[in-house]
Structure 1
Amino acid sequence: MSSLEVKRERTVADVIKERRSVRLFKSDPVATSLLLELLNVAVWAPNHENRQPWRFILFKDEGREVFANAMVATYSAEDREKYGIPKFNYFMKVPAHLVVLMKEDPRQKQWDEDYAAVCSLIQNFQLAAWEQGLGVVWKTNNYNYNPGFREAAGVRPGEKIVGVLHVGYPEVVSRVQPRTDAEQLLTIIDSL
């Protein structure tokens, strides 16, 4: 770097624009302490009345087999034959699976606020992970609604799975997907 060049620090905007969903991970394990550090950043998500409606279940190391078996068991016999082994192997290769849960509130307004808060927490987690060199993909697959999966994964009655985050060091980073400029989506009302 020349004396005229100044190294610019990454901004929050940079991290937001750089972050990608990662689906292929290196086999390197992710330290539980790092995941806890990221979760402790993520819980600073805005949440109405500070309800903090979230809970987490982490599957890593040999625990990934519990997750993979619970997921594969949701497939029909035909689909298990067709997809079971590759899917099982894929989930065993992902270093960590983090199930993000929300306490369901019977009041619609509070449910909506809590869901938005948990989604904000997930985005915080993804951004903090990316900043630390970790990749994440946020999944909302059909097995999240399967009673057998929910029981095997440790989901309690009255909890919604907002997402399963697959976490690890990226093997492959997906290419940039174009975004529509906000100017094309914004309606401005500035007079009577």
Structure 2
Amino acid sequence: MKIDDIIRNRRSITSFKPDPVSTEEIIDLLEVAKWAPNHKMTEPWRFLLYNGEGTETFVQAFIDAQPAPNGEVSEGVKRKADHFRSIPAHLVVVMPEDPRQKTWDEDHAAVSALIQNFQLAAWARDIGMIWRSNDWIYNPAFREKIGVKPGEKIVATLMLGYIKDVPKAKKRTDIREKLTIIDQHQ
């Protein structure tokens, strides 16, 4: 597949086959993704992979991070937790939170580029994912239970597996509507 086609055809996937994605396959994809541009070659990323039985650690951290009046887990949280259990793997991507704004911006851009590389390389292997950055990733209970260290930012929780259903493409704005051309030679 040409890279143009991979980029145009990639979708956020929420429906996965139950087949596990091997840890070695995920490592191989990360080895490809690490070639993302990053300022001063700092490689400002770290990964937490919840695969196989490890998925329950991620799910339990999600449950514990939800408000539970009277100690009761809501039906909505239970449904979402069951859905998370059905997803073959959860990859949490974190970066250091540098207090210098320029470095923070550069690190965030590099990590985002790595995530896009990971998504595209995975798509070429029929592995799909959805990039989540829900409000619960900021909850100290969730962060602690999944192993995020103080001074780190969760950039994404990537929920991934072999693709079951591919949603239809959503319309994109013609780039000419978003482009300003400054050309002194016209």
Shared fold (TM-score greater than 0.5)?
A: yes
How far is the alpha carbon of 1:191 from its aligned partner?
Answer: 2.4
CA contact (8 A) 1:72 1:87 kept: no
Query: Which residue of structure 2 lines up, in the alignment, with residue 71 of structure 1?
Result: 62
Query: Which residue of structure 2 lines up, in the alignment, with residue 95 of structure 1?
Result: 88
How far is the alpha carbon of 1:84 from its aligned partner?
Answer: 2.0
Measured in 1, the distance between the counterparts of 2:95 and 2:174 equals: 32
Matches within 5 A, 1:10-21: 10-21=1-12
The alignment status of 1:150 with 2:143, answered yes or no, reads yes
Q: Which has the larger radius of gyration?
A: 1
Alignment: residue pair count: 183
Q: Which letter maps to 1:45?
A: A
How far is the alpha carbon of 1:170 from its aligned partner?
Answer: 1.3
The alignment status of 1:140 with 2:130, answered yes or no, reads no
Measured in 2, the distance between the counterparts of 1:129 and 1:29 equals: 14
- Taking only aligned residues, the RMSD between alpha carbons, in angstroms, comes to 1.3
Measured in 2, the distance between the counterparts of 1:43 and 1:74 equals: 30
The alignment status of 1:48 with 2:48, answered yes or no, reads no
- TM-score (norm. length: structure 1): 0.92
Measured in 1, the distance between the counterparts of 2:24 and 2:53 equals: 17
Measured in 1, the distance between the counterparts of 2:150 and 2:164 equals: 36
Could you tell me which runs of 5 or more consecutive residues in structure 2 were left unpaired when the two chains were aligned.
Answer: none
SS in 2 for 1:57: strand
The alignment status of 1:181 with 2:171, answered yes or no, reads no
Query: Which residue of structure 2 lines up, in the alignment, with residue 28 of structure 1?
Result: 19
Query: Which residue of structure 2 lines up, in the alignment, with residue 6 of structure 1?
Result: none
Measured in 2, the distance between the counterparts of 1:24 and 1:133 equals: 13
How far is the alpha carbon of 1:20 from its aligned partner?
Answer: 0.6
Match 1:129 to one of 102, 112, 122 = 122
How far is the alpha carbon of 1:82 from its aligned partner?
Answer: 3.1
Q: Which letter maps to 1:42?
A: A
Q: Which letter maps to 2:148?
A: V
Deviation >4 Å, runs of 4+: none
Measured in 1, the distance between the counterparts of 2:175 and 2:47 equals: 33
Could you tell me which runs of 5 or more consecutive residues in structure 1 were left unpaired when the two chains were aligned.
Answer: 1-9
Match 2:103 to one of 99, 106, 110 = 110
How far is the alpha carbon of 1:80 from its aligned partner?
Answer: 3.0
Q: Which letter maps to 2:36?
A: A
Measured in 2, the distance between the counterparts of 1:105 and 1:179 equals: 34
Question: Once the two structures are superposed, what CA deviation does each residue of 1:15-44 show, in whole Å capped at 9, x if it has no partner?
Answer: 000101000111100011110000000110
How far is the alpha carbon of 1:172 from its aligned partner?
Answer: 1.4
